[in-house]
Structure formats: structure tokens, C-alpha cells
Chain A
Amino acid sequence: MNREFQAIVVGAGPAGSSAALTMARAGLDVALIERGTFPGEKNMFGGLLHRMTSIEEVFPDFWERAPLERHIAKKGTTFMTGDASFHVQHECTGFDRTPYNGYTVFRPRFDRWLAEEAVAAGATLINRSTVEDLVIKNGRIAGVTIAGRKGEICAPVVVAADGVLSFTAKKAGLRQPRFSPDQMAVGVKALFDMPKEVIDDRFGLVRDQGFANEYVGVTAGVRGGGFLYTNYDTVSVGIVVHISSLRDSGKTPYDLLNSFLEQPQFTKLLRGGRLMEYSAHVIPEGGYAMLPELYGDGILVAGDAAALCNATGVNLEGINLASHSGILAARTVIDAFERKDFSRKTLKRYKERLDLSWVMQDLKGFRNAPKMLHIDRIYNEYPELVCSMMEHIYRIDGTPKTSIPKLMLREAREKIGLKNLLGDLFTAWRAL
């Protein structure tokens, strides 16, 4: 049996549900198709939901309403070697006040909530449905088919928000048929159970303050890093590694995760924690250079499906870009209904909207970041340099001290080479 809608959204993640919510609020009859038994069941990320200004416009009381774990009041970076670590941290009262700067969330709860808000606005959520193909009629996209089911779900326009591998965008010929492992990373995560009071004491938190920390040097030279995020009464820890670099290393992601978990300064942070869940997912980290075609006749691509991820090494943003792109796609579909035209001529307005927004301006502004993140020295030599320099500075051993500038020069020359150092600084300067 065929079902008719005015618009179809493939994937009830942050991009898809934001799109469905916006369209439903404008009165469109929209189908939101999800392959999980409920939205969020299949969704995995490190754990940081960056502030979503576009969702705050819809829900001014977002932080009261959404199922959040903790708001991020404290952020840190740790340079780590096998036996040493050097930590820098930032905390300010501004991030401890609404509107909060970011949160930790559980995707099976958060994504479900956002999809339910779309349903409350009038969208039809169709769970347990993996989209198999696009329906093409008279050379135009006319709907989708569901794997293992008869009939079609029909609409004149489809928003592909089906995640990083977006088979919907592929079938529409909008994304490259193959991905480059140089532009993709894989994240693996372990979730540890820990009483709230222990988390508060251990990480210096009160109320529902949260801590987000990134680790450099914990991936045995494989391009990537580690993370630790505090949830309400669990802690998420994991690593993100570039797939080409992981492939060449011959190492496995779970072995890398385990050696990170066993580093002596890190392992004590997790003392008493019980492993609750293990998860993994691919992340598009190619930035501006890997963006697919964002629209075609009767189709728009949003979120990870459009590779809208901004991995600069400082912030790893994706979910906020996903949600914003979903909303801009929805606005474009609403325009298309007013014009009764779903051709690429009308839908290109989506690309124009994205270009004018912070989403594309950030991706363009940081388009050199992927190049910086391919400097292999970041993942081994630099953390070694920082930790060894600090050890020399702090060490008291009855010998005369070397002046700090002299020490810095000597260590940099030994561990990096001055020419490399200058080159890397230049690359980083251009990237950030």
C-alpha cells in the first residue's frame, strides 16, 4: 500500500527531526522515517551536544525541556604519554549560566525526545523502517521504498538525513560513490557507571555541571585523540582515530582504547567504574573539501549525510551543524511548496542559506584544519615534548637548572627539529 505525504525525511537524528519539526510546524504533512525501533537507538557520538541556537529559537526553555545529562562548565585538554601528562583547563561562570554552551546527552533519549517533539507538531514518525531505494517517476524523485516491505512512501521532496554513509544521497547521485579513509575517522566509546557524588568530587563539579576533556598522545601515534565526558551518573570515555592512519598502524580500535584506559594517570579517574556499554561510529572529518552536492531535483541533504562536521582539533562539532542544516533544509522545502516547484532551481536556496550561515562560514574558515590534523607529530612527538619539558622544569635533582628558553629550544630541536616546528606552527596558524 502506498502512503502519500508532502515531504519525507530519511533518518530521525538531529538533522532529520529538526527538519521534520520545522516542516510540521509550518503545516506540512511530513513523514519521518527511522530504521531503529525508536529514534536514537542507532545513534552514537562522543557525548557532547554543542549549543543548538536554532533549536533554542524553537524551544526557548530548551535546557528545561530536553533530556540532558549535564551542562559543560569546564573544558580541558591533556597532553599525555605512556607515563606522564600535562593538563590545561578552562572554566568560567558564563558557561555555568543559561543559555548553556553545551551538554552531555544520551542519544537514545535525546534523539527520541526531538523526534517526539516533531510528532507533537504533526509529523508522522515511521519507526523500524530502513529506506531501501528512491522512487523515481518521470525522471523526478517521488518517494522512497522500505527494505522488506511492499509499497512506496510518496512525496515530491525528500530530505536525506540518514547519517554519514547516506545511501539516500548516494542513490540520488549527490555524494561520491566511495569515501576516502583519509577523510573519515572512527570513534569508539565505553560508558562507565559511577555515582553522581563520585563524579562531582573527582572532577570538581557541583549541581549538574559537567566536564569535557580531550586527550592528545593517547593513540600510540595513530592520528586521533581521546575524550572523557561526564554524564549525570556515568562517564563516557573513548578515542577517535583517522581510518587511514588506523589501517596503516595495524592496531585495533579496542586495543588503543584499552591502553588509553590503562594509562596510570587516566585509569585512576575511572576507579570503581563499571563498563555499561560499548559503541562505535564513523565521523566525516574531511571538512569543507569533502562536502557532497547538497541538493538535487526533489532532494536535500542535511547533517552527517552532508558531511557537515567541523573537526578542528579544538572543538569537534557536528550535532549543532546537523540540526541547523535540517532547519534550513526545511525552510527551503516550505518555500518550494509556496512556489509549487521542487526542482533544483528552487532547492538551491538551501545551499545559499547554508553559505550565509555560521555552518558554512565555520567550515570554510577552518577548511585548512584537516591538513593540520594530518601532522603526525601532533599525536606522538608534541605530547612527548610538552611532558618532558614540564618534567625538566619541575624536577629538583641537585644539578643546576637550564634556563627555560634554552631548555625549550634544546627539547624542540631534539624531539621535533626546528624546521619541522616552524612548518607545523605555520600550518596550525593557517588552520585555526
Chain B
Amino acid sequence: MNIDEIFDYTSFTIDREPHIVLDREVCTSCDQRGCVNCCPARCYTWSEAEGKMTFVHDGCLECGTCYVVCHKNAFTRWSYPRGGYGVAYRMT
């Protein structure tokens, strides 16, 4: 299971508007950043050099892990995608 190939396995209908929005200032001051290692789809990347958190919603499995693990409540928005968008499981 190569996480880089997630789009080969799992289907998504990607919305232009992200359903999760971060206040990156909060991430910069965070002492844990559990989102980076806990997210099963690797949507969160922390750049130590730039001191910057990046979130990409494209491959988000809508699992809820980041919502649970973030103790700083860094989300200016955390909602499920609009109806019809996001991950679309075929079997599972």
C-alpha cells in the first residue's frame, strides 16, 4: 500500500472549495502536530524549513482523525464536503 498512489485505489469527486480550512498561525505554534503522522491519507505536511503547515483536501478520506487529534483547534472550518463531493467508496 503506497500512500502516494491513493488516487489509483480510492475514488474522489473533488470540490474546488476545501471542506477543511486551517489557521496556519496556530499550526506554527503547535507543540504536537499529530495531524501530520496520524492522517491516514497524508493530507498534512509540515515544513520545518519554512515553519509552515500545508493541508491538501484532495485525497481526504473524511475519517475525522485530524478533528480528533488537533488539540489546538486550528480549524477555521471543519465540515464534511458539500453533498455529492469528496471520497466515494465503491466496496469497503
Q: A35 to B80, Cβ gap below 8 A?
A: yes
A128 touching B83 by the CB < 8 A rule?
yes
Tell me the minimal C-beta distance from B75 to chain A in angstroms. Answer: 11
User: DSSP majority for the B interface?
Assistant: loop
Known interface pairs A107-B92, A108-B89; A147-B83 also in contact (CB < 8 Å): yes
Residue contact A164 to B64, C-beta cutoff 8 Å: yes
The answer to whether A252 and B37 have CB atoms under 8 Å apart is yes
CB contacts (< 8 Å) of A257 on chain B: these are 1
Q: Is B55 an interface residue (CB 8 A)?
A: no
Which B residues from 64 to 80 make CB contacts under 8 A with A?
64-65, 67-69, 71, 73, 79-80
Taking a contact as CB atoms under 8 Å apart, the answer to whether A247 and B64 are in contact is no
The residues of B that contact A261 with a CB separation of less than 8 Å are: 1
How many A-B Cβ pairs are below 8 Å?
139
Would you call A282 and B63 a contact (CB within 8 A)?
yes
Chain A residues near B89: list those with CB within 8 A: 40-44, 107-108, 277, 279
Stretch at the interface among B2-10, B20-28, B45-53: B2-10
Q: Binding site of A, secondary structure by majority: helix, strand, loop or mixed?
A: mixed
Residues of the B chain whose Cβ atoms lie less than 8 Å from the Cβ of A178: 73
Contact with B along A244-258 (1 / 0, CB 8 A): 001101111110011
Q: Which range contains the number of B residues in contact with the other chain?
A: 35 or more
Known: A247-B34, A253-B40, A258-B1. Is A36-B88 also a contact (CB below 8 A)? yes
Q: Interface size (A, Cβ < 8 Å)?
A: 53
Q: Is the CB of B37 within 8 A of A250?
A: yes
A190 contacts B1, C-beta separation under 8 Å: yes
Closest-by-CB residue of A relative to B11 is A277
**A106 contacts B83, C-beta separation under 8 Å:** no
**Cross-chain contact B87 with A278 (CB below 8 angstroms):** no
Assembly CA distance A165 to B62 (angstroms): 10
Q: Are B38 and A247 in contact (CB under 8 A)?
A: yes
- Does chain B have a CB within 8 A of A218? no
Closest CB of chain A to B53's CB: distance in Å?
15
Q: Are A247 and B83 in contact (CB under 8 A)?
A: no
Find chain B residues with CB under 8 A from A37 CB. 13, 83-84, 88
Chain A 1-50 residues near chain B, CB threshold 8 A: 35-37, 40-44
- Check A243 against B83 for contact (C-beta < 8 Å): no
Report the bound CA distance from A243 to B34 in whole Å: 9
Q: Given known contacts A191-B91, A250-B37, A276-B9, is B65 in contact with A282 (CB within 8 Å)?
A: yes
User: Are A277 and B42 CB-contacts (below 8 A) given A247-B37, A282-B65?
Assistant: no
A181-198 vs B, CB cutoff 8 Å, 1 = contact: the mask equals 100101011110000000
Q: How far is the CB of B7 from chain A (nearest CB, A)?
A: 10
Out of B40, B69, B71, name the residue touching A280 (CB < 8 Å): B40
Closest 8 CB pairs of A and B: A128-B83, A247-B34, A280-B40, A282-B64, A128-B84, A280-B63, A129-B83, A253-B40
Q: Please give the residue numbers on chain B whose beta carbons come within 8 Å of chain A beta carbons, in ascending order.
A: 1, 3, 6, 9-10, 13, 32, 34, 37-42, 61-65, 67-69, 71, 73, 79-84, 86-92
Binding site for B on A (CB under 8 A): 35-37, 40-44, 106-108, 127-130, 132, 146-148, 164-165, 167, 178-179, 181, 184, 186, 188-191, 234, 236, 243, 246-247, 249-254, 257-258, 261, 275-282
Q: List 25 A-B contacts (CB under 8 A).
A: A37-B83, A40-B89, A43-B92, A44-B63, A106-B92, A107-B92, A130-B82, A147-B82, A167-B79, A179-B68, A186-B40, A186-B64, A191-B91, A234-B91, A243-B34, A246-B34, A247-B32, A252-B3, A253-B40, A276-B9, A277-B10, A279-B61, A280-B63, A281-B61, A282-B64
